[in-house]
Amino acid sequence: MPNPTAAMLVIGDEILSGRTRDANMHYLAGQLTEAAIDLKEVRVISDDRAAIIAAVQALSGAYTHVFTSGGIGPTHDDITAECIAAAFDTPIDVRDDARALLQAHYDRSGQELNAARLRMARIPEGATLIDNPVSTAPGFTLRNVHVMAGVPSIFQAMVASILPNLTGGAPLLSRTLRVTRGEGDIAGPLGQFAADHSGLSVGSYPFIKDGLHGSNVVLRGTDAAELDSAMAKLSAILTA
Protein backbone atom coordinates (compact mmCIF):
# COMPACT_ATOMS: atom_id res chain seq x y z
CA MET A 1 0.00 0.00 0.00
CA PRO A 2 1.28 3.52 -0.76
CA ASN A 3 2.15 5.76 2.15
CA PRO A 4 -0.36 8.36 3.38
CA THR A 5 0.16 11.74 1.74
CA ALA A 6 0.22 15.25 3.13
CA ALA A 7 0.22 18.90 2.16
CA MET A 8 1.16 21.95 4.17
CA LEU A 9 -0.53 25.34 4.00
CA VAL A 10 1.53 28.21 5.39
CA ILE A 11 -0.68 31.22 6.05
CA GLY A 12 0.54 34.76 6.66
CA ASP A 13 1.33 38.05 4.97
CA GLU A 14 4.48 38.25 7.10
CA ILE A 15 5.90 35.18 5.36
CA LEU A 16 5.18 36.50 1.86
CA SER A 17 6.58 39.95 2.65
CA GLY A 18 9.88 38.48 3.82
CA ARG A 19 9.47 39.93 7.30
CA THR A 20 9.35 36.46 8.85
CA ARG A 21 11.35 33.44 7.71
CA ASP A 22 9.27 30.26 7.77
CA ALA A 23 10.86 27.46 9.79
CA ASN A 24 7.82 25.23 10.09
CA MET A 25 7.95 23.64 6.64
CA HIS A 26 11.44 22.24 7.21
CA TYR A 27 10.48 20.90 10.62
CA LEU A 28 7.24 19.32 9.44
CA ALA A 29 8.92 17.70 6.44
CA GLY A 30 11.42 15.98 8.70
CA GLN A 31 8.79 14.82 11.15
CA LEU A 32 6.53 13.45 8.42
CA THR A 33 9.42 11.61 6.81
CA GLU A 34 10.12 9.88 10.13
CA ALA A 35 6.41 9.05 10.44
CA ALA A 36 6.32 7.62 6.88
CA ILE A 37 3.79 10.18 5.68
CA ASP A 38 4.80 11.62 2.30
CA LEU A 39 4.74 15.43 2.12
CA LYS A 40 3.76 16.17 -1.47
CA GLU A 41 2.96 19.88 -1.60
CA VAL A 42 3.51 23.12 0.32
CA ARG A 43 1.62 26.34 -0.38
CA VAL A 44 2.25 29.78 1.11
CA ILE A 45 -0.73 32.15 0.96
CA SER A 46 -1.73 35.52 2.38
CA ASP A 47 -4.22 36.32 5.13
CA ASP A 48 -7.02 36.35 2.59
CA ARG A 49 -10.31 34.63 3.35
CA ALA A 50 -11.12 33.46 -0.18
CA ALA A 51 -7.58 32.22 -0.78
CA ILE A 52 -7.50 30.23 2.47
CA ILE A 53 -10.89 28.62 1.85
CA ALA A 54 -10.01 27.65 -1.73
CA ALA A 55 -6.63 26.23 -0.74
CA VAL A 56 -8.04 24.20 2.14
CA GLN A 57 -10.75 22.70 -0.05
CA ALA A 58 -8.29 21.82 -2.82
CA LEU A 59 -5.64 20.31 -0.57
CA SER A 60 -8.09 18.47 1.67
CA GLY A 61 -9.54 16.69 -1.34
CA ALA A 62 -6.15 15.78 -2.79
CA TYR A 63 -4.19 14.46 0.21
CA THR A 64 -4.61 12.25 3.25
CA HIS A 65 -3.64 15.05 5.64
CA VAL A 66 -3.35 18.84 5.47
CA PHE A 67 -1.29 20.75 8.02
CA THR A 68 -1.72 24.51 8.37
CA SER A 69 0.43 27.00 10.24
CA GLY A 70 -0.41 30.57 11.15
CA GLY A 71 -3.43 32.73 11.73
CA ILE A 72 -5.01 31.32 14.90
CA GLY A 73 -4.04 34.07 17.35
CA PRO A 74 -6.08 36.86 18.99
CA THR A 75 -5.76 39.68 16.44
CA HIS A 76 -8.06 40.82 13.64
CA ASP A 77 -5.93 39.20 10.92
CA ASP A 78 -6.01 35.78 12.59
CA ILE A 79 -8.75 34.37 10.40
CA THR A 80 -7.64 30.79 9.81
CA ALA A 81 -10.13 29.12 12.17
CA GLU A 82 -13.16 30.79 10.63
CA CYS A 83 -11.87 30.07 7.13
CA ILE A 84 -11.43 26.36 7.92
CA ALA A 85 -15.01 26.30 9.21
CA ALA A 86 -16.24 28.04 6.07
CA ALA A 87 -14.30 25.65 3.83
CA PHE A 88 -16.34 22.76 5.26
CA ASP A 89 -19.57 24.75 5.75
CA THR A 90 -19.31 24.16 9.49
CA PRO A 91 -20.49 26.49 12.32
CA ILE A 92 -17.83 28.02 14.54
CA ASP A 93 -18.14 29.53 18.01
CA VAL A 94 -16.39 29.74 21.38
CA ARG A 95 -16.24 26.21 22.73
CA ASP A 96 -16.48 25.47 26.43
CA ASP A 97 -13.46 23.16 26.67
CA ALA A 98 -11.21 25.57 24.76
CA ARG A 99 -12.47 28.47 26.85
CA ALA A 100 -11.78 26.57 30.07
CA LEU A 101 -8.19 25.94 29.00
CA LEU A 102 -7.64 29.62 28.28
CA GLN A 103 -9.40 30.77 31.44
CA ALA A 104 -7.17 28.58 33.59
CA HIS A 105 -4.06 29.77 31.76
CA TYR A 106 -4.83 33.47 32.16
CA ASP A 107 -5.95 33.02 35.75
CA ARG A 108 -2.55 31.48 36.54
CA SER A 109 -0.75 34.37 34.88
CA GLY A 110 -2.95 37.03 36.48
CA GLN A 111 -4.21 38.31 33.14
CA GLU A 112 -7.70 38.89 31.85
CA LEU A 113 -9.34 36.57 29.34
CA ASN A 114 -10.56 39.49 27.27
CA ALA A 115 -12.51 39.43 24.03
CA ALA A 116 -9.36 39.31 21.88
CA ARG A 117 -7.91 36.34 23.73
CA LEU A 118 -11.28 34.60 23.70
CA ARG A 119 -11.06 34.52 19.90
CA MET A 120 -8.56 31.70 20.35
CA ALA A 121 -11.33 29.53 21.84
CA ARG A 122 -13.41 29.72 18.66
CA ILE A 123 -13.43 26.16 17.32
CA PRO A 124 -15.43 24.72 14.39
CA GLU A 125 -18.20 22.34 15.34
CA GLY A 126 -17.03 18.71 15.39
CA ALA A 127 -13.32 19.54 15.55
CA THR A 128 -10.87 17.81 17.89
CA LEU A 129 -8.55 20.02 19.94
CA ILE A 130 -4.78 19.84 19.44
CA ASP A 131 -2.86 20.22 22.68
CA ASN A 132 -0.61 23.24 23.10
CA PRO A 133 1.72 22.77 26.10
CA VAL A 134 3.62 25.97 25.28
CA SER A 135 0.97 28.70 25.42
CA THR A 136 -2.25 26.70 26.04
CA ALA A 137 -4.36 28.13 23.17
CA PRO A 138 -5.31 24.97 21.27
CA GLY A 139 -5.12 24.10 17.63
CA PHE A 140 -7.69 21.75 16.18
CA THR A 141 -8.31 19.03 13.64
CA LEU A 142 -11.37 19.20 11.41
CA ARG A 143 -11.79 16.22 9.09
CA ASN A 144 -8.30 15.75 7.65
CA VAL A 145 -7.04 19.30 8.28
CA HIS A 146 -4.77 19.94 11.27
CA VAL A 147 -4.74 23.63 12.20
CA MET A 148 -1.74 24.89 14.16
CA ALA A 149 -0.01 28.08 15.25
CA GLY A 150 2.70 29.78 13.23
CA VAL A 151 5.13 30.41 16.11
CA PRO A 152 7.75 27.67 15.60
CA SER A 153 7.97 26.52 19.22
CA ILE A 154 4.18 26.19 19.44
CA PHE A 155 3.91 24.61 16.00
CA GLN A 156 6.48 21.98 16.93
CA ALA A 157 4.68 21.20 20.20
CA MET A 158 1.39 20.79 18.35
CA VAL A 159 2.98 18.50 15.75
CA ALA A 160 4.29 16.37 18.60
CA SER A 161 0.76 16.23 20.00
CA ILE A 162 -0.89 14.91 16.86
CA LEU A 163 1.68 12.80 15.01
CA PRO A 164 1.47 9.79 17.35
CA ASN A 165 -2.23 9.54 16.47
CA LEU A 166 -1.68 9.43 12.70
CA THR A 167 -1.07 6.19 10.82
CA GLY A 168 2.05 6.19 8.68
CA GLY A 169 3.28 3.79 6.04
CA ALA A 170 6.66 2.26 5.30
CA PRO A 171 9.60 4.46 6.42
CA LEU A 172 11.41 6.19 3.58
CA LEU A 173 15.08 5.21 3.37
CA SER A 174 17.82 6.92 1.38
CA ARG A 175 21.29 6.28 0.03
CA THR A 176 23.68 8.95 -1.28
CA LEU A 177 26.46 8.65 -3.84
CA ARG A 178 28.86 11.60 -4.08
CA VAL A 179 30.49 11.93 -7.49
CA THR A 180 33.01 14.54 -8.61
CA ARG A 181 31.41 14.97 -12.00
CA GLY A 182 29.01 17.71 -13.05
CA GLU A 183 25.35 17.07 -13.70
CA GLY A 184 25.89 17.61 -17.41
CA ASP A 185 28.25 14.65 -17.46
CA ILE A 186 26.03 12.24 -15.56
CA ALA A 187 22.60 13.33 -16.85
CA GLY A 188 22.43 10.74 -19.64
CA PRO A 189 23.30 7.58 -17.70
CA LEU A 190 21.44 8.83 -14.63
CA GLY A 191 18.27 9.36 -16.65
CA GLN A 192 18.46 5.81 -18.00
CA PHE A 193 19.12 4.47 -14.51
CA ALA A 194 16.04 6.31 -13.17
CA ALA A 195 13.92 4.86 -15.97
CA ASP A 196 15.18 1.37 -15.17
CA HIS A 197 14.41 1.83 -11.45
CA SER A 198 11.01 3.52 -11.57
CA GLY A 199 10.12 2.20 -8.12
CA LEU A 200 12.78 4.42 -6.56
CA SER A 201 13.08 8.18 -6.28
CA VAL A 202 16.30 9.30 -7.96
CA GLY A 203 17.56 12.86 -7.42
CA SER A 204 20.71 14.76 -8.33
CA TYR A 205 21.91 17.71 -6.25
CA PRO A 206 24.97 19.65 -7.47
CA PHE A 207 27.60 21.08 -5.12
CA ILE A 208 30.61 23.37 -5.35
CA LYS A 209 33.13 23.11 -2.53
CA ASP A 210 36.74 24.26 -2.42
CA GLY A 211 36.67 24.71 -6.17
CA LEU A 212 35.47 21.16 -6.71
CA HIS A 213 32.29 20.60 -8.73
CA GLY A 214 30.23 17.48 -8.29
CA SER A 215 26.85 15.96 -7.59
CA ASN A 216 25.20 14.15 -4.72
CA VAL A 217 22.95 11.50 -6.22
CA VAL A 218 20.26 10.39 -3.78
CA LEU A 219 18.15 7.26 -4.03
CA ARG A 220 15.00 6.97 -1.91
CA GLY A 221 12.74 4.01 -1.35
CA THR A 222 11.20 1.78 1.31
CA ASP A 223 13.12 -1.47 0.66
CA ALA A 224 16.67 -1.48 2.05
CA ALA A 225 17.83 -4.44 -0.02
CA GLU A 226 16.50 -2.86 -3.21
CA LEU A 227 18.25 0.41 -2.38
CA ASP A 228 21.58 -1.29 -1.68
CA SER A 229 21.42 -3.26 -4.91
CA ALA A 230 20.50 -0.17 -6.91
CA MET A 231 23.25 1.88 -5.28
CA ALA A 232 25.87 -0.71 -6.23
CA LYS A 233 24.72 -0.55 -9.85
CA LEU A 234 24.64 3.25 -9.82
CA SER A 235 28.14 3.47 -8.37
CA ALA A 236 29.47 1.20 -11.11
CA ILE A 237 27.78 3.35 -13.78
CA LEU A 238 28.78 6.79 -12.54
CA THR A 239 32.31 6.04 -11.33
CA ALA A 240 33.36 3.92 -14.30
70 C-beta neighbours (distance < 10 Å), count: 28
What is the Cα–Cα distance from 208 to 129, expressed in whole angstroms? 47
In this prediction the pTM is 0.88
Taking a C-beta distance cutoff of 8 angstroms, is the pair 37, 169 a contact?
Answer: yes
Q: What is the pLDDT of residues 78-132, one digit of tens each?
A: 999 999 999 999 999 999 999 999 999 999 999 999 999 999 999 999 999 999 9
pLDDT of residue 218: 96
What is the Cα–Cα distance from 204 to 189, expressed in whole angstroms? 12
pLDDT of residue 2: 84
3-state secondary structure of 172: coil
What is the Cα–Cα distance from 229 to 231, expressed in whole angstroms? 5
Residue 237 has pLDDT above 90, yes or no: yes
Closest CA to 166 of 32, 26, 7: 32
pLDDT class of 163 with cuts at 50, 70, 90: very high
Residue 229 has pLDDT above 80, yes or no: yes
Residue 174: in which H helix or E strand, if any? strand 173-179
What is the Cα–Cα distance from 227 to 240, expressed in whole angstroms? 20
Q: How is the beta sheet containing 201-209 ordered, strand by strand?
A: 173-179, 212-221, 201-209
Domains of the chain are: 5-165 (3.40.980.10), 173-238 (3.30.70)
pLDDT of residue 78: 94
pLDDT of residue 32: 96
